[in-house]
Amino acid sequence: MKLPEVLEKLKQRILQGEEAGQEEILALAAGLNDARGTEALCQAAHEITVACASRHFDMCSIINAKSGRCSENCKWCAQSAHYGTNAEVYGLVSEDTIIEHGLHNESKGVERFSLVTSGKKPSDREVNEICSRVRALKAKSRIRVCASLGLATEEQLVRLREAGVERYHCNLETAPSYFDTLCTTHSQADKIETLHAAQRAGMEICCGGIVGMGESEEQRIELAFKLRELDTRSIPINILHPIPGTPLGDTPLLSDEEILRTVALYRLIHPKAYLRLAGGRARLSEDTLQRMLHAGINAAIVGDLLTTLGSGIDEDKKRFTEAGYQL
């Protein structure tokens, strides 16, 4: 069977509610390995997106609620204390700052607002302070609150849920076969246990990764299937922004075609999920961004991101509606 026929049959099966298998996705990706193949893959992903995924574009924003001096040695991260970077260093931001940022995002039509802190895991004191800030924000805003605090315990996650945190974020970052190459101070299994604990605490989970850290396309596919095991419906796709001073500071950039293929393949594997455009997109052309939206992106982190520049909310809203999404 010729590859266009293989792609068409797989697309039809997905549209009928069947799940794609890992080996057939790997074989498909190996065969569709040129620009024409990428275009065909993106078109199939677009049709799956229209039929299966939400047409309501999910916008979220984040606040870097605690920055720098992280004990972990993640090779991509500017906030690691192991590397010499220019990342800001400060403790937990004030209640007033969180309320100000939350209300601003709500006024712009952003539906979710996440508190993100550096560090391997939060202390009980930090969780208490974060819960207090979440309650204060929820008293003044209807914005949905998320958190990304590292390897929190189940007891801490229950307290966060009771305070009003609805979704917990913890990226797997990369394929299981590649993670230990990039970080040795904690394991991917630690992250997975945190996500399971968040689910047991009654939270939704948000979990994705970073592409362009030296992994192969096969490993990007491996990550996508690991994410499917977790039943996560919000999948951030970050593009590595090499930061001077980190071990990945000189990593060659992924091509636009490789990024598009990643989005399209993830849509075949996750027909109903929110594929969330996240960090590293500032370098992409408008044409590439539009093609990513066409191929399956139906969510995004908007506003300024953690240690790299994001994009203006009003500009993003225009971009998303022009791509055919509802806000």
pLDDT in tens, 149-191: 999 999 999 999 999 999 999 999 999 999 999 999 999 999 9
Q: Residue 121 — φ and ψ, nearest 5°? A: -160, 155
Query: Residue 60 pairs with which residues in a beta bridge?
Result: 112, 301
* Planar angle of CA 143, 316, 252, nearest 5 degrees: 110
Question: Nearest CA to 216 among 177, 186, 248, 242?
Answer: 177
Report pTM: 0.94
Architecture of the domain defined by 3-322: Alpha-Beta Barrel (3.20)
Residue 255 has pLDDT above 90, yes or no: yes
Q: Most confidently modeled of 14-28, 80-94, 305-319?
A: 14-28
Q: What is the pLDDT of residue 1?
A: 61
Residue 308 has pLDDT above 50, yes or no: no
Residue 102 has pLDDT above 50, yes or no: yes
DSSP letter for each residue of 41-60: HHHHHHHHHHHHS-SB-EEE
Burial 270-297 (b: 16+ CB within 10 A, else e): bbebbbbbbbbbeebeeebbebbbbbbb
Residue range 277-306: mean pLDDT, rounded: 90
Residue 206 has pLDDT above 80, yes or no: yes
Q: Which helix (H) or strand (E) holds 10?
A: helix 3-15
Q: Which helix (H) or strand (E) holds 320?
A: helix 313-322
Give, as one character, the DSSP assignment of residue 281.
G
Where helices occur in 53-175 by DSSP H, the ranges are 95-107, 124-140, 154-163
Q: What is the pLDDT of residue 310?
A: 47
pLDDT in tens, 35-73: 999 999 999 999 999 999 999 999 999 999 999 889 999
Give the residue extent of every domain in the chain. 3-322
When pLDDT is cut at 50, 70 and 90, the band that residue 84 belongs to is: confident
Contact 253, 211 (CB under 8 A): no
